Amino acid sequence: MAVVGFVGLGVMGRPMAANLVRAGHEVRAFSRGAAGRESAAELGVPVVAGLAEAVQGADVVLTMLPDTPDVRAVAVGPGGVLDHLAPGAAYIDMSTIEPGAAREVAERFARAGHDALDAPVSGGEAGAREGTLSIMVGGPADAVERWRDLLGTLGTTVVRVGESGAGQVVKAANQLVVATHLQALAEAIVFLEAHDADVATGLSVIARGLGGSTVIDRKADGVLAGDFRPGFRLELHHKDLGIVEGAARTRGAVLPVTAVVGRLVQSLVQRGDGALDHSALVALARELNGTSERAAAPPPEGTSQGAPHGAETR
Protein backbone atom coordinates (compact mmCIF):
# COMPACT_ATOMS: atom_id res chain seq x y z
CA MET A 1 0.00 0.00 0.00
CA ALA A 2 1.24 3.48 -0.87
CA VAL A 3 0.74 7.01 0.40
CA VAL A 4 -0.87 8.68 -2.62
CA GLY A 5 -1.26 12.38 -3.27
CA PHE A 6 -4.13 12.90 -5.73
CA VAL A 7 -4.64 16.28 -7.38
CA GLY A 8 -7.72 16.95 -9.53
CA LEU A 9 -11.15 15.86 -8.35
CA GLY A 10 -13.30 16.35 -11.41
CA VAL A 11 -15.66 13.86 -13.02
CA MET A 12 -12.83 11.38 -13.57
CA GLY A 13 -10.61 12.17 -10.62
CA ARG A 14 -13.20 11.67 -7.90
CA PRO A 15 -14.02 8.02 -8.62
CA MET A 16 -10.38 7.24 -9.34
CA ALA A 17 -9.34 8.58 -5.95
CA ALA A 18 -12.20 6.66 -4.33
CA ASN A 19 -10.98 3.42 -5.91
CA LEU A 20 -7.50 4.00 -4.48
CA VAL A 21 -9.04 4.47 -1.02
CA ARG A 22 -11.09 1.28 -1.38
CA ALA A 23 -7.95 -0.62 -2.38
CA GLY A 24 -6.36 0.36 0.94
CA HIS A 25 -3.99 3.13 -0.13
CA GLU A 26 -3.57 6.18 2.08
CA VAL A 27 -4.92 8.97 -0.12
CA ARG A 28 -4.50 12.71 0.38
CA ALA A 29 -6.60 14.42 -2.25
CA PHE A 30 -6.82 18.04 -3.31
CA SER A 31 -8.64 20.07 -5.95
CA ARG A 32 -8.73 23.79 -6.60
CA GLY A 33 -12.53 23.70 -6.85
CA ALA A 34 -14.56 23.52 -3.65
CA ALA A 35 -17.29 21.52 -5.41
CA GLY A 36 -14.81 18.82 -6.40
CA ARG A 37 -13.46 18.59 -2.88
CA GLU A 38 -16.94 18.30 -1.40
CA SER A 39 -18.04 15.65 -3.89
CA ALA A 40 -14.88 13.62 -3.30
CA ALA A 41 -15.38 13.76 0.45
CA GLU A 42 -18.90 12.40 -0.01
CA LEU A 43 -17.32 9.38 -1.75
CA GLY A 44 -15.11 8.76 1.27
CA VAL A 45 -11.96 10.33 -0.18
CA PRO A 46 -9.77 12.10 2.43
CA VAL A 47 -9.46 15.69 1.23
CA VAL A 48 -6.72 18.05 2.40
CA ALA A 49 -6.61 21.83 2.47
CA GLY A 50 -3.86 22.48 -0.09
CA LEU A 51 -1.53 21.10 -2.73
CA ALA A 52 1.50 21.00 -0.44
CA GLU A 53 -0.37 18.89 2.10
CA ALA A 54 -1.39 16.42 -0.61
CA VAL A 55 2.15 16.07 -1.94
CA GLN A 56 4.43 16.19 1.11
CA GLY A 57 5.29 12.72 2.38
CA ALA A 58 3.55 10.93 -0.51
CA ASP A 59 5.17 7.93 -2.18
CA VAL A 60 3.53 8.89 -5.47
CA VAL A 61 1.47 11.85 -6.68
CA LEU A 62 -1.21 11.47 -9.37
CA THR A 63 -2.75 14.37 -11.27
CA MET A 64 -5.96 14.34 -13.31
CA LEU A 65 -6.35 17.85 -14.74
CA PRO A 66 -8.21 19.49 -17.66
CA ASP A 67 -5.45 20.64 -20.02
CA THR A 68 -1.76 21.23 -20.68
CA PRO A 69 -1.48 24.62 -18.91
CA ASP A 70 -3.05 23.14 -15.78
CA VAL A 71 -0.54 20.30 -15.68
CA ARG A 72 2.40 22.65 -16.23
CA ALA A 73 1.26 24.92 -13.41
CA VAL A 74 0.41 22.18 -10.92
CA ALA A 75 3.32 19.87 -11.70
CA VAL A 76 6.30 22.18 -12.21
CA GLY A 77 5.01 25.69 -11.53
CA PRO A 78 5.96 27.69 -8.43
CA GLY A 79 4.72 25.88 -5.35
CA GLY A 80 3.72 22.88 -7.46
CA VAL A 81 4.19 19.15 -7.06
CA LEU A 82 7.90 19.18 -7.87
CA ASP A 83 8.59 21.76 -5.17
CA HIS A 84 7.03 19.59 -2.46
CA LEU A 85 7.71 16.01 -3.61
CA ALA A 86 9.70 13.87 -1.17
CA PRO A 87 13.06 12.44 -2.29
CA GLY A 88 12.53 9.27 -4.34
CA ALA A 89 8.79 9.78 -4.71
CA ALA A 90 7.16 9.42 -8.14
CA TYR A 91 4.85 11.56 -10.26
CA ILE A 92 2.16 10.17 -12.60
CA ASP A 93 0.07 12.48 -14.75
CA MET A 94 -3.18 10.90 -15.96
CA SER A 95 -4.52 13.99 -17.75
CA THR A 96 -4.77 14.35 -21.54
CA ILE A 97 -2.16 16.90 -22.62
CA GLU A 98 0.30 17.70 -25.41
CA PRO A 99 2.95 14.97 -25.87
CA GLY A 100 5.76 17.53 -25.98
CA ALA A 101 4.64 19.01 -22.68
CA ALA A 102 4.48 15.54 -21.12
CA ARG A 103 8.09 14.93 -22.16
CA GLU A 104 9.22 18.29 -20.77
CA VAL A 105 7.48 17.70 -17.44
CA ALA A 106 8.97 14.20 -17.17
CA GLU A 107 12.46 15.58 -17.84
CA ARG A 108 12.06 18.14 -15.04
CA PHE A 109 11.13 15.41 -12.56
CA ALA A 110 13.86 13.05 -13.80
CA ARG A 111 16.53 15.75 -13.34
CA ALA A 112 15.34 16.12 -9.74
CA GLY A 113 15.63 12.35 -9.16
CA HIS A 114 11.98 11.33 -9.48
CA ASP A 115 10.24 8.73 -11.64
CA ALA A 116 7.67 10.40 -13.90
CA LEU A 117 5.04 8.74 -16.08
CA ASP A 118 2.39 10.06 -18.45
CA ALA A 119 -0.59 7.75 -18.13
CA PRO A 120 -3.72 9.13 -19.85
CA VAL A 121 -6.84 7.02 -19.75
CA SER A 122 -9.75 5.95 -21.90
CA GLY A 123 -13.02 4.50 -20.70
CA GLY A 124 -14.92 7.48 -19.39
CA GLU A 125 -16.67 8.17 -16.14
CA ALA A 126 -18.11 4.65 -16.03
CA GLY A 127 -14.65 3.17 -16.41
CA ALA A 128 -13.32 5.46 -13.70
CA ARG A 129 -16.08 4.37 -11.30
CA GLU A 130 -15.69 0.69 -12.10
CA GLY A 131 -11.88 0.69 -12.16
CA THR A 132 -11.90 -0.61 -15.74
CA LEU A 133 -10.03 2.20 -17.50
CA SER A 134 -7.59 1.57 -20.32
CA ILE A 135 -4.32 3.22 -19.29
CA MET A 136 -1.63 3.98 -21.88
CA VAL A 137 1.65 4.67 -20.12
CA GLY A 138 4.77 6.48 -21.28
CA GLY A 139 8.00 6.42 -19.30
CA PRO A 140 10.89 4.22 -18.14
CA ALA A 141 10.05 0.52 -18.14
CA ASP A 142 11.24 -0.03 -14.57
CA ALA A 143 9.10 2.84 -13.29
CA VAL A 144 6.04 1.47 -15.10
CA GLU A 145 6.56 -1.92 -13.45
CA ARG A 146 7.10 -0.27 -10.06
CA TRP A 147 3.68 1.39 -10.23
CA ARG A 148 1.78 -1.18 -12.32
CA ASP A 149 -0.17 -2.59 -9.37
CA LEU A 150 -1.29 0.86 -8.27
CA LEU A 151 -2.41 1.73 -11.80
CA GLY A 152 -4.14 -1.66 -11.93
CA THR A 153 -6.42 -0.40 -9.17
CA LEU A 154 -7.71 2.18 -11.64
CA GLY A 155 -7.81 0.21 -14.88
CA THR A 156 -7.99 -3.32 -16.23
CA THR A 157 -5.65 -2.50 -19.12
CA VAL A 158 -2.27 -1.00 -18.21
CA VAL A 159 0.13 -0.95 -21.16
CA ARG A 160 3.51 0.71 -21.48
CA VAL A 161 3.48 2.20 -24.97
CA GLY A 162 6.95 3.77 -24.99
CA GLU A 163 9.12 6.42 -23.41
CA SER A 164 7.93 9.67 -21.85
CA GLY A 165 5.22 11.33 -23.93
CA ALA A 166 4.25 8.11 -25.71
CA GLY A 167 1.16 7.70 -23.55
CA GLN A 168 -0.09 11.07 -24.73
CA VAL A 169 0.66 10.19 -28.36
CA VAL A 170 -1.47 7.04 -28.10
CA LYS A 171 -4.24 8.95 -26.32
CA ALA A 172 -4.25 11.54 -29.11
CA ALA A 173 -4.56 8.72 -31.64
CA ASN A 174 -7.48 7.33 -29.63
CA GLN A 175 -9.25 10.68 -29.78
CA LEU A 176 -8.83 11.06 -33.55
CA VAL A 177 -10.24 7.55 -34.04
CA VAL A 178 -13.27 8.33 -31.85
CA ALA A 179 -13.92 11.61 -33.69
CA THR A 180 -13.73 10.06 -37.15
CA HIS A 181 -15.93 7.16 -36.03
CA LEU A 182 -18.52 9.63 -34.79
CA GLN A 183 -18.51 11.47 -38.10
CA ALA A 184 -18.78 8.16 -39.97
CA LEU A 185 -21.78 7.28 -37.79
CA ALA A 186 -23.30 10.69 -38.55
CA GLU A 187 -22.96 10.25 -42.30
CA ALA A 188 -24.20 6.65 -42.19
CA ILE A 189 -27.36 7.82 -40.40
CA VAL A 190 -27.94 10.62 -42.92
CA PHE A 191 -27.42 8.17 -45.79
CA LEU A 192 -29.84 5.62 -44.33
CA GLU A 193 -32.44 8.33 -43.69
CA ALA A 194 -32.09 9.63 -47.24
CA HIS A 195 -33.11 6.18 -48.48
CA ASP A 196 -35.99 5.85 -45.98
CA ALA A 197 -34.28 2.85 -44.39
CA ASP A 198 -34.97 1.69 -40.85
CA VAL A 199 -31.96 3.36 -39.27
CA ALA A 200 -31.93 1.44 -36.00
CA THR A 201 -32.12 -1.89 -37.79
CA GLY A 202 -29.49 -0.84 -40.30
CA LEU A 203 -27.07 0.23 -37.58
CA SER A 204 -27.66 -2.99 -35.65
CA VAL A 205 -26.55 -4.97 -38.69
CA ILE A 206 -23.54 -2.73 -39.33
CA ALA A 207 -22.54 -3.07 -35.67
CA ARG A 208 -22.18 -6.83 -36.08
CA GLY A 209 -19.93 -6.59 -39.13
CA LEU A 210 -16.61 -5.02 -40.03
CA GLY A 211 -18.17 -1.57 -39.72
CA GLY A 212 -19.01 -2.12 -36.06
CA SER A 213 -17.44 0.04 -33.37
CA THR A 214 -17.75 1.00 -29.73
CA VAL A 215 -19.03 4.35 -30.98
CA ILE A 216 -22.09 2.66 -32.53
CA ASP A 217 -22.58 0.48 -29.46
CA ARG A 218 -22.51 3.39 -27.01
CA LYS A 219 -23.89 6.28 -29.01
CA ALA A 220 -26.44 5.07 -31.55
CA ASP A 221 -29.43 4.72 -29.22
CA GLY A 222 -28.99 8.17 -27.72
CA VAL A 223 -28.44 9.79 -31.11
CA LEU A 224 -31.57 8.21 -32.59
CA ALA A 225 -33.53 9.45 -29.56
CA GLY A 226 -32.19 12.97 -30.14
CA ASP A 227 -30.37 12.87 -26.79
CA PHE A 228 -27.22 14.98 -26.90
CA ARG A 229 -26.79 15.50 -23.17
CA PRO A 230 -23.05 15.48 -22.54
CA GLY A 231 -21.22 12.29 -21.78
CA PHE A 232 -18.07 13.75 -23.35
CA ARG A 233 -18.46 17.39 -24.27
CA LEU A 234 -17.68 18.66 -27.76
CA GLU A 235 -15.50 21.40 -26.30
CA LEU A 236 -13.26 18.78 -24.68
CA HIS A 237 -13.00 16.78 -27.88
CA HIS A 238 -12.16 20.02 -29.68
CA LYS A 239 -9.30 20.51 -27.20
CA ASP A 240 -8.07 16.97 -27.79
CA LEU A 241 -8.17 17.33 -31.58
CA GLY A 242 -6.12 20.49 -31.17
CA ILE A 243 -3.52 18.36 -29.42
CA VAL A 244 -3.63 15.92 -32.34
CA GLU A 245 -3.20 18.73 -34.85
CA GLY A 246 -0.25 20.27 -33.02
CA ALA A 247 1.49 16.95 -32.45
CA ALA A 248 1.00 15.96 -36.10
CA ARG A 249 2.51 19.23 -37.28
CA THR A 250 5.66 18.73 -35.18
CA ARG A 251 6.38 15.48 -37.06
CA GLY A 252 5.06 16.47 -40.48
CA ALA A 253 2.22 13.94 -40.36
CA VAL A 254 -0.65 14.64 -42.79
CA LEU A 255 -4.09 13.72 -41.40
CA PRO A 256 -6.65 15.01 -43.94
CA VAL A 257 -9.74 13.20 -42.64
CA THR A 258 -8.96 14.14 -39.04
CA ALA A 259 -8.51 17.76 -40.14
CA VAL A 260 -11.96 17.85 -41.74
CA VAL A 261 -13.64 16.29 -38.71
CA GLY A 262 -11.75 18.71 -36.49
CA ARG A 263 -13.22 21.65 -38.39
CA LEU A 264 -16.72 20.21 -38.01
CA VAL A 265 -16.22 19.83 -34.28
CA GLN A 266 -14.83 23.37 -34.15
CA SER A 267 -17.86 24.73 -35.98
CA LEU A 268 -20.18 23.26 -33.36
CA VAL A 269 -18.09 24.70 -30.54
CA GLN A 270 -17.81 28.12 -32.19
CA ARG A 271 -21.55 28.48 -32.57
CA GLY A 272 -22.08 27.72 -28.87
CA ASP A 273 -22.76 23.98 -28.83
CA GLY A 274 -19.59 22.95 -27.00
CA ALA A 275 -21.57 21.68 -24.01
CA LEU A 276 -23.39 19.09 -26.14
CA ASP A 277 -22.17 15.51 -26.36
CA HIS A 278 -19.66 14.88 -29.15
CA SER A 279 -22.26 12.71 -30.86
CA ALA A 280 -23.93 16.00 -31.85
CA LEU A 281 -21.89 15.64 -35.03
CA VAL A 282 -24.94 13.65 -36.14
CA ALA A 283 -27.17 16.67 -35.63
CA LEU A 284 -24.80 18.82 -37.68
CA ALA A 285 -24.78 16.26 -40.51
CA ARG A 286 -28.58 16.35 -40.58
CA GLU A 287 -28.58 20.15 -40.64
CA LEU A 288 -26.16 20.19 -43.57
CA ASN A 289 -28.59 17.94 -45.41
CA GLY A 290 -31.60 20.05 -44.46
CA THR A 291 -33.27 17.19 -42.61
CA SER A 292 -33.47 18.55 -39.05
CA GLU A 293 -33.35 21.59 -36.84
CA ARG A 294 -30.38 22.55 -34.72
CA ALA A 295 -29.76 20.23 -31.74
CA ALA A 296 -31.21 21.49 -28.48
CA ALA A 297 -28.91 22.69 -25.74
CA PRO A 298 -28.47 20.26 -22.83
CA PRO A 299 -30.49 20.84 -19.65
CA PRO A 300 -28.75 22.77 -16.87
CA GLU A 301 -26.25 20.72 -14.92
CA GLY A 302 -27.80 19.07 -11.91
CA THR A 303 -31.30 18.67 -13.35
CA SER A 304 -32.79 15.22 -12.95
CA GLN A 305 -33.47 13.81 -16.39
CA GLY A 306 -31.70 10.49 -16.25
CA ALA A 307 -28.11 9.61 -17.09
CA PRO A 308 -26.70 10.76 -20.42
CA HIS A 309 -26.46 8.02 -22.99
CA GLY A 310 -22.97 6.64 -23.42
CA ALA A 311 -21.70 8.86 -20.59
CA GLU A 312 -17.94 9.17 -20.70
CA THR A 313 -15.36 11.87 -20.22
CA ARG A 314 -12.35 10.53 -22.08
In angstroms, how far is the first alpha carbon of the chain from the final one? Answer: 27
Domain annotation for the chain: domains and CATH numbers: 3-163 (3.40.50.720), 169-288 (1.10.1040.10)
19 pLDDT above the threshold of 70: yes
In whole angstroms, what is the distance from residue 120 CA to residue 118 CA? 6
Q: Respond yes or no: is residue 239 known to be catalytic.
A: no
What's the pLDDT score for residue 293? 62
Annotated catalytic residue within 28, 103, 114, 171: 171
Q: 148-173: per-residue pLDDT in tens?
A: 999 999 999 999 999 999 999 999 99
299 pLDDT above the threshold of 90: no
- Where residue 306 falls among pLDDT bands split at 50, 70, 90? very low
